[in-house]
Amino acid sequence: MAAAFGLVSALLALQAGASASSFFSLPRTYPNISACAAEPIAYSCENTTTIKNTCCSPTPGGLVLQTQFWDTYTGFEKKGQLLPKDSWTIHGLWPDNCDGSFEQYCDLSRQYDPAPSPAVLPDGTIVPAYTGPPVDTFVAEFGRLDLLAYMDKYWVSQGSLNSGFWGHEFAKHATCTSTFDVACYGPDYKKNQDVVDFFDAVVRAFKMYPTWEILAASGIQPSNKTTYSLTQLQTALKAQTGAIPYLGCGQNGTVLQEVWYFHHVLGSEQFGHYKTVDSTTTSSCSKTAGIHYYERTPTSEREVRLLP
Ligand SMILES: *[C@@H]1O[C@H](CO)[C@@H](O)[C@H](O)[C@H]1NC(C)=O
Ligand SMILES: *[C@@H]1O[C@H](CO)[C@@H](O)[C@H](O)[C@H]1NC(C)=O
Ligand SMILES: *[C@@H]1O[C@H](CO)[C@@H](O)[C@H](O)[C@H]1NC(C)=O
Ligand SMILES: *[C@@H]1O[C@H](CO)[C@@H](O)[C@H](O)[C@H]1NC(C)=O
């Protein structure tokens, strides 16, 4: 009876316009985006003078790149490290400065890269190799086996173990992304929570760009018999993204290897909105020669979309 009365009076109070937060505790977010609600609404790199709270918008690294690879083998096939069939793979999520320059390894207290590259920063700082437990154990400790399973399928390294590559991406790039600063997590920060949140943000950004399907829809499929022009590739991608990404090629610009999608972000990388913008970097693919988009070695890939 008392409980029912409590509920009724709560509902009456709500109707009377009281804010819900006086009855329910708001879920905690990292960073605290309730505090960000008071900030002016602006995309990163568009009006940088308005951004005061760097936990709310990536600053100065506001030109955010979601990068992907097209590899044809991993070199670790024997360890079961296989590429996902009919999909590009994740490289990372990078905070370039608005002018296209970038910082790296910004917080050596969060250095989880077993093979730092570069091992010495331009200012002479040495980045020591990490020898502790690999970052996949951090994700498991937070119970995020769903995230780990996705990363194993789509965030696949060539020439190194996946976990080392993930640690590299976090240490080199996320430590320079202001919205993942430990200070933004407040006093109840749990160690490595920022690492798990970064991996979630990377996956969220990657899912915006099904590169394989976008290209295939324009008749551009991996082939060891034909080649494509740079314009054909760019036109196909622009048709679904509204912008021209960077395309990276090897072998003198004739073998397609990477795509980088550029963004301005409104709000944090964790929760905010990504607006696709044109690449600020000129493609390394040939403008005149045909470009190979090679088929993979069949034993280097696996079906990932079947039910377990
Ligand atoms: C988050 O920010 C809001 C608005 O500034 C504030 O009321 C709330 O106390 C903050 N929460 C925490 C856990 O710091
Ligand atoms: C940038 O934001 C400031 C403060 O919100 C505003 O006064 C100014 O007009 C904005 N500048 C541009 C170019 O939009
Ligand atoms: C790249 O092209 C240049 C100029 O055509 C040529 O001299 C060079 O040997 C080529 N390199 C490779 C790796 O094919
Ligand atoms: C296609 O060519 C690439 C590059 O030479 C090679 O690695 C791959 O195994 C080839 N795939 C098939 C299916 O022949």
Burial class (CB in 10 A: 0-12, 13-18, 19+), 211: buried
Instruction: Indicate which residue of 169, 258, 269, 301 is catalytic.
Output: 169
Sequence letter at residue 84: P
Residue 154 tokens, joined: 């789509």
- The half-sphere exposure of 115 on its side-chain side, counting CA atoms within 13 A, is 8
Mean pLDDT calculated for residue range 242-263: 98
Report which protein residue has its CA nearest ligand 1's atom 13. 28
Pocket mutation for ligand 4, best pick of 71, 77, 295, 301 (most atoms within 8 Å of C-beta): 295
The rounded distance, in Å, linking the Cα atoms of 62 and 46 is 9
Note if 173 is an active site residue: yes
pLDDT > 90 in the chain, percent: 85
Report which protein residue has its CA nearest ligand 4's atom 3. 294
Cα dihedral: 182, 104, 242, 232 (round 10): -150
Q: In ligand 3, which atom is closest to the CA atom of 254?
A: 14
pLDDT > 70 in the chain, percent: 92
CATH T-level fold of 31-302 = Ribonuclease Rh; Chain A (3.90.730)
Measured from the alpha carbon of residue 75, the closest ligand is 4
Q: How far is the CA of 252 from the centre of ligand 3 (A)?
A: 6
* pLDDT at residue 11 greater than cutoff 70: no
**Residue ranges of the domains in the chain?**
31-302
Q: In ligand 4, which atom is closest to the CA atom of 300?
A: 9
Ligand 3 proximity of 226 Cβ (cutoff 6 Å): no
CB of 68 closer than 8 Å to CB of 258? yes
Q: In ligand 1, which atom is closest to the CA atom of 28?
A: 13
Sequence letter at residue 262: F
Ligand 1 proximity of 34 Cβ (cutoff 6 Å): yes
Measured from the alpha carbon of residue 50, the closest ligand is 2
The predicted pLDDT at position 7 comes to 45
The rounded distance, in Å, linking the Cα atoms of 107 and 237 is 35
The predicted pLDDT at position 308 comes to 63
The predicted pLDDT at position 99 comes to 94
The rounded distance, in Å, linking the Cα atoms of 152 and 155 is 6
- pLDDT band, very low/low/confident/very high, at 50 (cuts 50, 70, 90): confident
State the average pLDDT for the chain: 92
Tens digits of per-residue pLDDT, 27-41?
889 999 999 988 888
Pocket mutation for ligand 3, best pick of 249, 252, 286 (most atoms within 8 Å of C-beta): 252
The sign one gets for the Cα dihedral 245, 160, 202, 269 is: negative
The sign one gets for the Cα dihedral 133, 139, 143, 146 is: negative
Tens digits of per-residue pLDDT, 193-229?
999 999 999 999 999 999 999 999 999 999 999 999 9
Query: What is the pTM assigned to this prediction?
Result: 0.91
- pLDDT band, very low/low/confident/very high, at 6 (cuts 50, 70, 90): very low
Tens digits of per-residue pLDDT, 103-161?
999 999 999 999 999 999 999 999 999 999 999 999 999 999 999 999 999 999 999 99
* pLDDT at residue 15 greater than cutoff 60: no
The predicted pLDDT at position 12 comes to 43
Q: How far is the CA of 47 from the centre of ligand 2 (A)?
A: 6
The predicted pLDDT at position 247 comes to 98
